[in-house]
Structure 1
Amino acid sequence: MSFCIIHELQGLNGTAAGRMRVRAHRPLPLSVTADLTRNLDDLPGISGVRVNPRVGSVLFFYADQQSRLSALRLLAVRDKNPVPHTPAVTSELLPEKTPGGGLLPLLRFFVIRPLLPRIWRMVSSVMAAMPFLLKGVASLLHGRLSVDVLDAAAIAASLLMRDFRTVSVLTLLLGLGETLEYWTRRRSLDSLTESLALNVDSVWLLGKDGTEASVPLGQVQKDDLVVVRDGGSIPVDGIVEEGCALVNQSSMTGEPLGVPRARGAAVFAGTVVEEGRLVIRVNQVGDGTRLRQVISFIEQSEALKAGIQGKTERLADLAVPFTFALAALVWLITRNPMRAASVLLVDYSCALKLATPLAVLASMREGARHGMVIKGGRYLEALCEADTLIFDKTGTLTNASPRVVDVIPAGGYQRDEVLRIMACLEEHFPHPVARAVVRKAQEENLQHEEEHAQVEYVVAHGVASSLHGKMLRVGSRHYIEHDEGVDVSPMAADIARQTALGRSLLYLAEDGALAGILAIEDPLRPEAAAVVKTLRGMGFKRVLMLTGDDERTARAVAARAGITEFRAQVLPTDKAAVVRELTDSGCKVLMVGDGINDAPALSASHVGVAMSDGTDLAREVANVLLTRADLGGLIEARRLADGTLRRIHMNFAATLTLNSLFLAGGLFMVLAPGLSALLHNLTTLGVSLNAMRPHLPAPKPQTPVMEGRP
């Protein structure tokens, strides 16, 4: 595994300090990622280490030249050590065969075993025990005192006492437990794979004659030229051939800020163009690239364990030596191997280690069935803990399809010309407001030829271009009045009348003068008010709305949604600042958004939620994706998270209580070793089955919408 330096910035803050990014020639397994992060962190003078396994990227800060050389030496040593193969298909993430042989052990134990002679029952018990004994020995050889060692010791103790029936019961229950975990994990991974695949069906190809054509992604070949504009997801791996843009690579590197990409730079599938236009020469495309992305995400999701899951697993590891110590103490005091075996055959580790990850994975799978993709176990915990709810307005609280209800020209301008010019500029961008303007022009049969110069998108403000030598600006009042210095007072009466109706306004300026405004009605989602009211009753202490609209429009929309706290005329950076302000004050923020300008706030929040009809960037950055265009998914997500955490705590209490009773029964010889083992393993299976129970009612089938009906 060789590394090469991708980027280095020296002389930070006027010192010998610097920052370096290196990249491996292929993705890194999670085990290598953890090891590399730890080794770099341990080096004197090295800080801020971030390793992204998805692209083999390693970023670190060094204090001086000595620490820089130390890091490079460490990476050079890594070059000589081969890195294990990264799976190429989803099925490689799991064993080829179902652990424990599926349901075959049940058949063998209840049907075949009673018919066998005694000697063959003994041989059968020993053969069934061998895989568990070997697993325990392997764990010991690797220096780990794990649950596998405890299981092997319990089986070995039963073999030494020639209690072959207990051996059979133990191997049967352990095998069924592994089968249960495998089945749940398999189903969860399948659901995640289906839900999280890159949703790009078609791309724009640049032909040799300079024209663009939309073609299915499956037809794209190596060396084709793909065009991606603002807000679009990059569907291929390739090299920028033309253009300059800010690309959000948070899905790959974890860095929330966009990075500049120009001619010669590499870009990757799944990243998103924030601002600009790129022509990309294809290196890799198709199912291969998309499948690798899905696999990497699944690996990443498996690594994103809930904090409570990590706690229970640490408790489970601590319980193993405690059980061994207690068994040894009982044997030393009583010299009775039966009592010692009774202690050894009952432990807390199995249920603690199995039930919590099963609960997390089962909930993630259930979420996918109910229209919510939860991108990792820790976000279930974050959903449960959140106490402050922030909504973006446009496209989130309101429908993602606003409509133009009025076109008002300024003095000296024609109504149709104002609408035609604005549609001409806005048609290049995927924002719902832009689509509404274009749709209005189409409804009125207004043709708008491509006569303008290249259109520049000013993120969260508007668009800028020129036409017939005239400078054109389209956007919000803040952009037109404050940034561009255009006087809007000549239309003050029209502006006041439209904002009093709760409408959003889009302004057109020509050569520094106001040319007209469009009034846009942003209908509130029909379920919005009820959802806000329900979520308040589910533990959210504060509910806020953020919008770039003026205060009167914001107040009108917030009142209809039942929200009393809002911030108006908020810029994208201000949204993230509001989230950080609340977070710094101790709030745990759940942010719901859908647009390019919501991405920084989604990244800064405790847990970010995006709508399915939002932009690619918002969907990529968010921790939870609602795959149905309905805010009611927030209620189900909260219920699912609350239920999952509640069930984990219930399983924890049941495990401690029942296993303590079984342990006491073994100590005082009330329970025989075989019965202790049976009850203990039945408890493990019981809490595992409880962890897998659904939290939400079965989803209702979607009623098809008949064409031509409202």
Structure 2
Amino acid sequence: MHKWLSQNKNKLTALTGLLIVMAFIFQWIFSNRTAANIFLFIASLIGGFPIAVSAIAALKVKVISIDLLVTIAIFGAFVIQEFEESAIVAFLFLFGAYLEHKTLSKTRLAIQNLVALSPETALRQNNQEEFEEISVEEVEEGDHLLVKTGDKVPVDGIVLSGLATINGASITGEPLPVSKAVDDQVFAGTIVEDGTIHMQAEKVGEDSTFGKIIALVEEAQDSKSPAERFIDRFAKYYTPAVLVLALIVFLFSRSISLAITILVLGCPGALVIGVPVSHVAGIGNGAKHGILFKGSDVIAKFSKVDTILFDKTGTLTYGNPEVTDSHYYLPDHDLVDRLLVSVEKESRHPLAQAILKHYQVSQSENILETTVIQGGGIMAKTHEHQILVGNPYLMKQYHITITEPMQKDINEMEQLGESLVLTAIDGSLALATGIRDQLRDGVKEDLQALKNMGVKNLILLSGDHQHSVDLVREELGLSEAYGNLLPADKAAFVKKRQSIGETVAFVGDGINDSPSLALADIGIAMGNGTDVAIETSDIVLMHSNFHRIPHALALAKATSRNMLENIIIALLVVVILLVSVFTSRAMNMAIGMFVHEASILVVILNAMRLIHFKNKQKLDTNQLFMNDLQVN
């Protein structure tokens, strides 16, 4: 029965409306009251049936729903033979549900667009080294795949051979196609515009970046905010209260018509639909702009944030640093370079990538063992050597001697604002490398926009030395800046600011900063779709685009305001209608229900404004995108 009603509810709504129109035609044009009543009688039965079924289903699980109020009102009007009012009440309630469904469907367009991008087939290499077309569900990790011009990349993976230009706007947010070559990462759902690549599957199905993005948006849209949980509790007690009020009115007035009218006018339809529609519209707008909110609870918290903490590398900077200084302390430079490159190949940190790009070696050493020292660097071993690669903290932990000339070199690099990577071989400092990263274009304007929206504290937390951190603070106009921090220190700082009553957001790369992302009231990951970013943060910024943060905050504030506006509209309508029952003779059941459905339409239209919301304080996004791509 429920399945049939779900499939045919719109048809029943249309039929109910058609019967009401026919009734009015017979009454007004042909002056045939009997025929009109017959049409209204049938319309009441057809329209009231799905509402009554929903009410009974709710009662079975001990829930007194809004549908019960409407069912009793329709039945009461039916009993006193007010067929016109019972039919109109049923139609308007069904039509309101139709509007709700259509609006929610429209605001879920972000998910629909993502799903539409999902590839359906892949070309997999078989045992005969030929490529055969298979369903994308059959692809397994390690499979070798061929992707041609015009095809969608079927799963996440790495390019084995070939060269192609790939449009990744739907996944990474990059507005222009990007060239992909051997060893580059490619993501499911992106499109090969030119060229052919041979790739190896690394993440398939729901584990792919594409699958996780879809799951994240679906989870966000299905979650509930504090406002929605309040509405649920409110409706639980409100419905019985209206029933009791109607009973009391009947006992005192002996007017069943008045009691039934109160039941109809007391239906808080706009209250029930107003908040979730705002929530889903806000989530949809965020997804469209590459901002993935993990639920409306996140939106509510983020709208109240007054302190934002930032990591430096890959967050305020592009995360593409370059080596600017090298000081050797062992005579065999080739050995030092070879061991350093061999160790850094084990890391995906931005500083490691800068070293690999700068120190070109013909061959590398076989690394037998690596140990990551949290907040320090890497300890590695080959057959003949022990290598330490990291910051001064790591050198101190392993009691590496730093002479006065060495310290002088280190101090000079720190004065220039360079990040330090020290390399020690077999207990002796062998190389001091200075690396400098560029601040993101437009980041200063983005930070000013956050200040304009009420964020009081903008604080930099970094593992870099204090002088480098201070230079960034001065250049960007940050409130405070702290250097030489380990991940545990950053997490402790988050707790400290929360303990004094601040609502704290932390913006990081989702890897080293995962403890802080998890502890903060709002964790914002400069994700690039990484696993850690998606799992530990509350908000993911696609393609690590810092420029989306002001839009995210403005959208969160607008969504919270929109929810509050809808609550006020809905409650005001209910109060006015209930008061008018006792103060105006013109108020009746049908008019009340019409006003109710009009209020539902009003809150829906109000919420839909969020779909097209734009941050007025934002700079030209396209220009910022172009700046990003030029640096990257």
Match of 2:311 in 1: 392
For residues 511 and 340 of structure 1, do their structure 2 counterparts lie closer, same or farther at Cα, with a shift above 3 Å needed?
same
1:674 aligns with 2:584: no
Of the structure 1 ranges 549-558 and 681-690, higher mean CA displacement relative to structure 2 is found in 681-690
Task: Give 1:579 deviation, angstroms.
Answer: 0.9
Structure 2 letter corresponding to 1:350: G
Counterparts of 1:200 and 1:472, CA distance in 2: 45
For residues 422 and 177 of structure 1, do their structure 2 counterparts lie closer, same or farther at Cα, with a shift above 3 Å needed?
farther
Task: Give 1:178 deviation, angstroms.
Answer: 2.0
For residues 614 and 564 of structure 1, do their structure 2 counterparts lie closer, same or farther at Cα, with a shift above 3 Å needed?
farther
Counterparts of 1:177 and 1:708, CA distance in 2: 47
Deviation readout 1:435-457 (Å, 9 max, x if unpaired):
1211223xxx5323243323333
Match of 1:423 in 2: 341
Match of 2:556 in 1: 641
Contact persistence 2:422–2:431 (CA under 8 A): yes
| 1:346 pairs with one of 265, 275, 278 | 265
Contact persistence 1:609–1:624 (CA under 8 A): yes
1:460 aligns with 2:379: no
1:691 aligns with 2:607: yes
Match of 2:410 in 1: 495
> Equivalent residues in 2 for 1:261-660 (5 A)?
286-287=204-205, 300-301=219-220, 304-347=223-266, 349-410=268-329, 412-414=331-333, 417-441=335-359, 445-467=360-382, 469-487=384-402, 489-613=404-528, 615-660=530-575
For residues 579 and 643 of structure 1, do their structure 2 counterparts lie closer, same or farther at Cα, with a shift above 3 Å needed?
same
Structure 1 SS opposite 2:438: coil
Counterparts of 2:466 and 2:115, CA distance in 1: 38
Counterparts of 2:138 and 2:399, CA distance in 1: 41
Counterparts of 2:271 and 2:137, CA distance in 1: 49
Contact persistence 1:301–1:375 (CA under 8 A): yes
Task: Give 1:340 deviation, angstroms.
Answer: 1.7
Counterparts of 2:586 and 2:391, CA distance in 1: 78
Task: Give 1:142 deviation, angstroms.
Answer: 3.2
Counterparts of 1:113 and 1:409, CA distance in 2: 95
Task: Give 1:564 deviation, angstroms.
Answer: 3.1
Counterparts of 1:292 and 1:425, CA distance in 2: 33
Match of 2:149 in 1: none
Structure 2 letter corresponding to 1:686: V
TM-score normalized with structure 1 length: 0.69
Counterparts of 1:353 and 1:560, CA distance in 2: 48
Contact persistence 1:558–1:564 (CA under 8 A): yes
> Equivalent residues in 2 for 1:218-233 (5 A)?
none
Counterparts of 1:607 and 1:675, CA distance in 2: 46
Counterparts of 1:195 and 1:477, CA distance in 2: 46
Task: Give 1:592 deviation, angstroms.
Answer: 0.6
Counterparts of 1:655 and 1:223, CA distance in 2: 52
Contact persistence 2:301–2:522 (CA under 8 A): yes
Of the structure 1 ranges 645-654 and 192-201, higher mean CA displacement relative to structure 2 is found in 192-201
Structure 1 SS opposite 2:544: coil
For residues 471 and 450 of structure 1, do their structure 2 counterparts lie closer, same or farther at Cα, with a shift above 3 Å needed?
closer
> Equivalent residues in 2 for 1:208-223 (5 A)?
none
Contact persistence 1:579–1:605 (CA under 8 A): yes
For residues 417 and 314 of structure 1, do their structure 2 counterparts lie closer, same or farther at Cα, with a shift above 3 Å needed?
same
Task: Give 1:424 deviation, angstroms.
Answer: 2.2
Counterparts of 1:535 and 1:323, CA distance in 2: 45
Counterparts of 2:319 and 2:311, CA distance in 1: 12
Task: Give 1:200 deviation, angstroms.
Answer: 13
Counterparts of 1:701 and 1:557, CA distance in 2: 23
Match of 1:108 in 2: 18
For residues 586 and 194 of structure 1, do their structure 2 counterparts lie closer, same or farther at Cα, with a shift above 3 Å needed?
farther
Contact persistence 1:309–1:357 (CA under 8 A): yes
Match of 2:80 in 1: 161
Of the structure 1 ranges 574-583 and 689-698, higher mean CA displacement relative to structure 2 is found in 689-698
Alpha-carbon RMSD across the aligned residues, in angstroms, is 3.8
Contact persistence 2:525–2:544 (CA under 8 A): no
Structure 2 SS opposite 1:693: helix
Structure 2 letter corresponding to 1:455: T
Structure 2 SS opposite 1:596: coil
Unaligned runs of 5+ residues in structure 2 are: 27-34, 121-126, 128-133, 145-154, 157-201
> Equivalent residues in 2 for 1:26-175 (5 A)?
97=7, 100-101=10-11, 104=14, 108=18, 117-118=35-36, 119-175=38-94
Counterparts of 1:195 and 1:152, CA distance in 2: 39
Match of 2:96 in 1: 177
Structure 1 SS opposite 2:343: helix
Task: Give 1:571 deviation, angstroms.
Answer: 0.7
Deviation readout 1:370-410 (Å, 9 max, x if unpaired):
21000111000110121111001111111121222222212
Counterparts of 2:501 and 2:627, CA distance in 1: 48
Structure 1 SS opposite 2:378: strand
Task: Give 1:705 deviation, angstroms.
Answer: 6.2
Task: Give 1:348 deviation, angstroms.
Answer: 5.3
Contact persistence 2:92–2:597 (CA under 8 A): yes
Counterparts of 2:519 and 2:563, CA distance in 1: 28
Task: Return the structure number with greater helix share.
Answer: 2
Contact persistence 2:379–2:387 (CA under 8 A): yes
Deviation readout 1:595-636 (Å, 9 max, x if unpaired):
411101000010100113374312321110111433221111
For residues 167 and 405 of structure 1, do their structure 2 counterparts lie closer, same or farther at Cα, with a shift above 3 Å needed?
farther
Structure 1 SS opposite 2:331: coil
Contact persistence 1:486–1:514 (CA under 8 A): yes
For residues 388 and 564 of structure 1, do their structure 2 counterparts lie closer, same or farther at Cα, with a shift above 3 Å needed?
closer
Counterparts of 1:440 and 1:200, CA distance in 2: 38
Aligned residue-pair number: 549
Deviation readout 1:291-349 (Å, 9 max, x if unpaired):
99778756753563111221122122222122112212222222222322221111253
Contact persistence 1:184–1:361 (CA under 8 A): no
Deviation readout 1:403-443 (Å, 9 max, x if unpaired):
222222125353x55444322211222221111211223xx
Counterparts of 1:301 and 1:148, CA distance in 2: 27
Deviation readout 1:469-511 (Å, 9 max, x if unpaired):
1211111121123445342643222222221121111111111
Unaligned runs of 5+ residues in structure 1 are: 1-92, 202-207, 209-215, 227-234, 237-283
Deviation readout 1:13-41 (Å, 9 max, x if unpaired):
xxxxxxxxxxxxxxxxxxxxxxxxxxxxx
Structure 2 letter corresponding to 1:641: A
TM-score normalized with structure 2 length: 0.77
Counterparts of 2:262 and 2:565, CA distance in 1: 24
For residues 707 and 192 of structure 1, do their structure 2 counterparts lie closer, same or farther at Cα, with a shift above 3 Å needed?
closer
Counterparts of 1:198 and 1:428, CA distance in 2: 34
Deviation readout 1:349-385 (Å, 9 max, x if unpaired):
3222211111111111111112100011100011012
Task: Give 1:693 deviation, angstroms.
Answer: 1.8
Deviation readout 1:659-685 (Å, 9 max, x if unpaired):
211111122333122111111221122
Counterparts of 2:244 and 2:519, CA distance in 1: 46
Contact persistence 2:243–2:263 (CA under 8 A): yes
Counterparts of 2:136 and 2:17, CA distance in 1: 47
Counterparts of 1:513 and 1:306, CA distance in 2: 56
Deviation readout 1:261-294 (Å, 9 max, x if unpaired):
xxxxxxxxxxxxxxxxxxxxxxx98437669977
Task: Give 1:516 deviation, angstroms.
Answer: 0.9
Task: Give 1:556 deviation, angstroms.
Answer: 0.8
